[in-house]
Structure 1
C-alpha cells in the first residue's frame, strides 16, 4: 500500500492534474463565494440576459477558428504547431470580420430570425467576443502542448478574481444586464492576455518563416477539425444553449436566468475536476498513442474515477436542490434549485465524458462524433420542444432535455471505448486497421 501511494505521489500525471485542479478549484471557490452576492445584486432577469448572451457566444466559439487550435497539441515538432497557431489566428480574424460585416448589413434581420431580442442591445459585441475567444483557444492549447499547467492554474484564479470582483463592484453601482455582458467579454480577453504574458513565449519564434504553403499544409493535414470537430462542437453548443435561448424566447429572461444559474452553479465541480483532468489527459493519451501503447485502460480509469468523485456532490443537489439554492442565492432562486436537480444528472454525465472527448481526435473518430452530436441534438431539441409546446412548463422541458442528454453521453462513452479497444489491438498486432 505504501509503495503504491509513493508511486501515485511521484506520478507526473497526478501532479499535473492536481496543479491544474488547485488553480481551477480556487477560481471556482472565488466564483461560488461571490455568486450569492451577485444573484442578490442583479436578479433573475439580468442573469437571464447574461445566460442568453453566453449561450450565443458559446455557439459562435467553434466558428472562431474552426477548432484548429485543438490540433496544436498533436504535431511532434514545435514549428508545425506554430504554423497551426498562425493559421488559427488568421482564420479567427477573417471569421470576426465576416460576422462584423453581416451584422452591419443585417443586424435587425439576424435578431428577428434567431429571436435574439433579449440581447439585441449587445449584438455588436459578438464579433469582438469571437476574436478574443479564438485567441484564448490558441493560448490554452499551446499551454497544454508545452505542459505549462502552472500558468493555466494561475490564469484561472486571476480571471475569476477579475471577473467576479468587477461584477460585484459593477452591481453596487450599475446592477444592469449590460454590466454583466461587458464584464464577461472583458474577462475572456483578460485571460487570453494573461496566458500569453505568463507563458514562456515559445509560441513566438521570430526566426521562423511560415509561408502560405506551410499554412495550407497544416490546414490540409488537420482538415478533420473543420470538417468534423467544428460542426460537432457547434452543434453541441447549440444543444447546450437551446434551453436558455428557448426559455428566454417563450417564458422570458427570468426563467432563462433560473436555468442559467442552475447550470453555472453545477459547472463548479465539473470545471474543478473535469477541466483539470482533460487538460492533462489530452497530451498523455496522445503520447501513449504515438508510442504505440494501450490507451483503453487509462480512459476507463479516468471515466470511473470521475464517476466516483462526482456522484457525491451531484447526488446532494438531486436530493436537496431547492433548499440549497434558496438558502445560498436567496428565496427568489428556489425555482433554479428545482431545475438544478435535473441539470445535475447532465452535469455528472458531462464530467465523466471529459476523457472520452479528448480521446476522440487521437482515435481519429471525429466523423463518428459529429454524427452522434447531430442525432443527439435532434433528440434533445425534440425533448425541449415537447416540454414547451405539449406541457407548456419549463420544468418538463428541463427534465426531458436532461434524460435525452444522459442517454447520448452514455452512447458516446460506449462507442469510444469500442474504438479504443480496436485501436489497441491494431497497435499490438502492428497490422492495418480502418477505424473510420
Structure 2
C-alpha cells in the first residue's frame, strides 16, 4: 500500500518534471536569465504568503480525527480570502518604508503575488485533503496539470512567466476538486469555529514557524537578487528549478505519504521508527545518485537544456544543490513532530533555522562572495537538518499511541 501510494505520487511528479524539462529549452531561450530572476522572486514571495494562507489548518488535516475533516476544510477554503489580501497589504506597506527600495520586488508585482498565493494556498489545502483521504491519483493529477498549463500558457498564450504561473496554479486547484466531492453542502460554521479553537496551536504556533521556515528557504534567492542582480538570481533559480525542485517535490511526495501512513500507525499504536528508517534510506540513496550525476554530466546536460548565456559550471551546480540534498533527506520524516504534537520542538528548530540562515546570508556575502556564501549555506543546512532528523527520531521513540490531534490528546508540554 505504501509503495503504491508513493509510486503514484512520484508518477505525478515525474510527469510534471518531464513536461518542464521538455519545454525548458524553449522557455530559457525565450525569456533569459534576467526574466527568470524576476519571475523567481515573484513566485518565491507568493510561496511565502501561500504557506500561511490557511493558517496551517491544511496541515492539521493529516492527523485530525474524521469528525474534524469537514470543519477544517471549510476553514481552509475561507481563510485564504482573508489572509492573502492582508499579506499583500503588508507587502505594499513595506515597499513604502525606507528599506523598501532594497526589496527585490516592486508594487506592480503585488497583484500577481496575491493571485499566485491565493491559488497555491487552495492547492495546498486540496492536496492535504487528498492525502488524508488517500486520493493519491488526485494528488498526482494536480502535480501534472500545474506545470503543463504553466508551460502551455507561457509559450503560446502569454509572454509573462508570472501570469502563466498564476494560470497554472488555478488549473492545479481545479484538479484537486475531486477531494471535495463528499463534503456536505451545509455550512455549519459553529462546528468550524469550535474546531479552529480546539486546534489553536496550528495558527498560533505552527503558522508563524512555517512562515519563518519558508522565509529561510527563500532568503538565498531574495538576497542574491538584491545583492547580485536578477541575472544571478535567474541562474541560481534555474538550478533550483531544474534539479533542486524535482528533489524537493520527491521529498514533498514522500512527506505526504509518510503523513498518511505514520498517522495510521500512530492511531493503531504501531511504532513509526521502521517507517522513518525506510524513508531516510530511500532519500539518502536518491541524494547520492543525484550528486554523482550532477558531478559527471550536470554541466553538459544543463547547458543543452537552457542553452548559452546561463551559468552551468559543475562547482556552481553542486554548491547550489547541497542545501537541497540535506533538506530532502530529513524533511519528509520531520512530519512526525506534527503528528505527535511536538509543535514547540518544531518551532524552536525553525526559529534556529531561520536565524542561522539569515545570519549566514547577512555575513557570508561580505566575506566570501557568491561561491563562498553557497558553501557556508551548505554547511549550515547540513548541521541544522541533521539536528532536525535527530529530533524526528526522538519524537518517534517517545510517541504514545494516542489518536493524533483529537480533543482528548494530551496538552502540549513545555518539554516538548
TM-score between the two structures when normalised by the length of structure 2 = 0.90
Q: CA deviation at 1:98?
A: 2.3
Q: Partners in 2 of 1:336 and 1:221 — Cα distance?
A: 52
- Structure 1 residues 232 and 266 mapped into 2: Cα distance closer, same or farther (>3 Å)? farther
The answer to whether the Cα contact below 8 Å between 1:159 and 1:190 also exists between their aligned partners in 2 is yes
Question: Within 5 A, what are the aligned runs for 1:398-413?
Answer: 398-413=374-389
**RMSD (Å), alpha carbons:** 2.5
**Aligned equivalent of 1:253, options 225, 230, 234:** 230
Is the Cα–Cα contact under 8 Å of residues 269 and 402 in structure 2 kept in the other structure? Answer: no
Partner of 1:330: 307
Q: Structure 1 stretch 41-50 or stretch 56-65: which is displaced more?
A: 56-65
Query: Are positions 1:136 and 2:123 aligned together?
Result: yes
Any stretches of 5+ residues in structure 2 without a counterpart?
404-409
Contact 1:97–1:127, Cα closer than 8 Å, also in 2: yes
Distance in 2 separating the partners of 1:30 and 1:288? 35
Match of 1:32 among 3, 16, 21: 21
**Structure 1 residues 107 and 113: alpha-carbon distance in aligned structure 2, compared to 1, 3 A threshold:** closer
- Note the residue ranges of structure 1 that are not aligned, 5 or more in a row: 1-11
Determine which of 182, 198, 215 is the counterpart of 2:163: 182
- Larger radius of gyration between Structure 1 and Structure 2: 1
Q: How does 1:62-77 map to 2 (within 5 A)?
A: 62-77=51-66
Give the aligned partner of residue 30 of structure 2. 41
Give runs of aligned pairs for residues 304-315 of structure 1, distance below 5 A: 304-315=281-292
What's the counterpart of residue 142 of structure 2?
155
| Aligned twin of 2:174 | 193
Evaluate the alpha carbon distance shift between residue 252 and residue 328 of structure 1 in structure 2; reply closer, same or farther with a 3 A threshold: same
Alignment length (residue pairs): 408
Q: Distance in 2 between matches of 1:426 and 1:211?
A: 28
- Pair 1:81-2:61 in alignment: no
Q: Deviations over 1:4-35 (max 9, x none)?
A: xxxxxxxx111111111112111111112221
Q: 2:79 aligns with which of 91, 95, 106?
A: 91
- CA displacement at 1:413 relative to structure 2: 0.1
SS at match of 2:102: coil
How far apart are the structure 2 equivalents of 1:368 and 1:200?
A: 32
Aligned to 2:406: none
Q: How far 1:147 sits from its partner (Å)?
A: 0.7
Alignment TM-score, normalising by the size of structure 1: 0.86
Structure 1 Cα separation of the partners of residues 123 and 97 of structure 2: 26
Give yes or no for contact 1:266–1:347 (8 Å, CA) kept in 2. Answer: no
